[in-house]
């Protein structure tokens, strides 16, 4: 049996897990992103098992139908919007997940992005290396308004971080109640008020048809020209061309992003040319602590499947 390990950008798969128990089956690790659907199908045509890292490679019905030899698809985490679980079930492909690992990794990165954008860390690092000393004036966070779009598990942690920095957290999402917001020390406000009052806007929503494009031109232009937008959730929640335009026109002070509508980010993407940005390559879950869970449990999933006793099986209802 041939086993593919996808999107191992950091060449971490063999450092964080022992794959030798899968011998004599062949394990092939792909360090580069495979690309579009045709490239994915061509590369994986000879594999019965595919191990994916989060949502780096999508497996919609149109891909799964073209991989008739696929028997097992493993994803890190217990939720993956890039896999059509209903299609996988119909086609007889078992889909298994892994435990989430550290729940603090994304909130920590989110706060690193806030500080980097507020204090212009990338710009000053670059200037210093180029021989210039002290070229920007950053802004402090104490006393400012932290607007949290989506107060779920990550949003609640982020709101707590905000209070530690003496910020005032406000929050909105479609089903959020005043009681739930108050429980984490945040003030429930309306959607328009959230954008208008934000000094720092943090996005912590799951991507769905309801949230896709939720932050568009109207929302961005409602924000203060001194505000900072931070997205560590999913790229398509924000209208990226409109965000780039708002930055270019000075309608927004800065944006710090870890997620994008297309990943890896194309070299000609407008955000790469937009001013006052901090851009990271979807690092929210990329920590040694998370990989130490993800990769060993991926091996466990494959071994269990080979024994005929699959574990951590995902079903369409799980989404």
311/258 same-domain check: no
126/274 same-domain check: yes
Query: What pLDDT score does 104 carry?
Result: 83
18/49 same-domain check: yes
Choose among 68, 115, 120: nearest CA to 90.
Answer: 68
Q: Would you say 49 and 305 are in contact if contact means Cβ atoms under 8 Å apart?
A: yes
Q: What share of the chain is helix, strand, coil (3-state, %, to 5)?
A: 35, 15, 50
Counting the structural domains of the chain, the total is 2
149/37 same-domain check: no
18/156 same-domain check: no
181/244 same-domain check: yes
Q: Is the dihedral of CA 206, 208, 211, 216 positive or negative?
A: positive
94/112 same-domain check: no
Gyration radius (Cα) of the chain, Å: 21
Q: Which two tokens stand for residue 310?
A: 């699959």
95/109 same-domain check: no
- Using alpha carbons, list the distances in angstroms from residue 62 to 32, 54, 83, 89, 183: 22, 19, 11, 14, 44
Give me the CATH number covering residue 42. 3.40.50.720
295/234 same-domain check: no
Query: What does each of the 319 residues of the chain score in pLDDT, given as a tens digit?
Result: 999 999 999 999 999 999 999 999 999 999 999 999 999 999 999 999 999 999 999 999 999 999 999 999 999 999 898 999 999 999 999 999 999 877 789 999 999 999 999 999 999 999 999 999 999 999 999 999 999 999 988 889 999 999 999 999 999 999 999 999 999 999 999 999 999 999 999 999 988 899 999 999 999 999 999 999 999 999 999 999 999 999 999 999 999 999 999 999 999 999 999 999 999 999 999 999 999 999 999 999 999 999 999 999 998 875 4
Q: Please list the active-site residues.
A: 234, 263, 282
Which domain range does residue 71 map to? 2-102+287-318
94/139 same-domain check: no
DSSP β-bridge partners for residue 309: none
246/121 same-domain check: yes
For 263, how many CA atoms within 13 A lie in the half-sphere containing its CB?
22
126/180 same-domain check: yes
**Quick check: helix, strand or coil at residue 120?**
coil
């Amino acid at each position: 049996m041939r086993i593919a390990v996808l999107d191992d950008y950091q060449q971490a798969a063999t450092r964080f897990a022992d794959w030798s128990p899968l011998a004599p089956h062949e394990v092939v690790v792909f360090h580069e992103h495979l690309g579009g659907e045709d490239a994915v199908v061509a590369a994986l045509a000879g594999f019965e098992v595919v191990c994916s890292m989060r949502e780096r490679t999508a497996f919609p019905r149109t891909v799964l139908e073209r991989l008739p030899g696929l028997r097992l698809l493993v994803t890190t985490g217990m939720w993956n919007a890039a896999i059509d679980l209903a299609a996988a079930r119909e086609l007889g492909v078992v889909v298994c997940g892994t435990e989430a690992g550290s729940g603090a990794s994304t909130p920590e990165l989110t706060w690193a992005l806030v500080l980097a954008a507020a204090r212009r860390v990338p710009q000053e690092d670059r200037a210093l290396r180029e021989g210039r000393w002290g070229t920007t004036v950053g802004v402090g966070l104490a006393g400012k308004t932290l607007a949290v779009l989506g107060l779920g598990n990550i949003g609640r942690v982020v709101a707590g971080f905000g209070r530690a920095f003496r910020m005032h957290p406000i929050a909105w999402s479609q089903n959020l109640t005043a009681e739930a917001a108050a429980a984490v020390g945040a003030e429930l406000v309306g959607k328009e008020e959230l954008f208008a009052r934000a000094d720092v806007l943090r996005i912590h929503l799951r991507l769905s048809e309801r949230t896709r494009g939720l932050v568009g031109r109207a929302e961005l232009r409602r924000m203060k020209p001194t505000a900072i937008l931070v997205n560590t959730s999913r790229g398509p929640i924000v209208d990226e061309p409109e965000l780039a335009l708002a930055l270019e026109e000075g309608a927004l002070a800065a944006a710090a992003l870890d997620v994008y509508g297309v990943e890896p980010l194309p070299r000609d993407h407008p955000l790469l040319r937009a001013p006052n940005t901090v851009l990271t390559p979807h690092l929210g879950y990329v920590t040694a602590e998370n990989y130490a869970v993800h990769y060993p449990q991926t091996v466990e999933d494959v071994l269990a499947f080979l024994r005929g006793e699959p574990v951590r099986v995902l079903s369409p209802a799980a989404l």
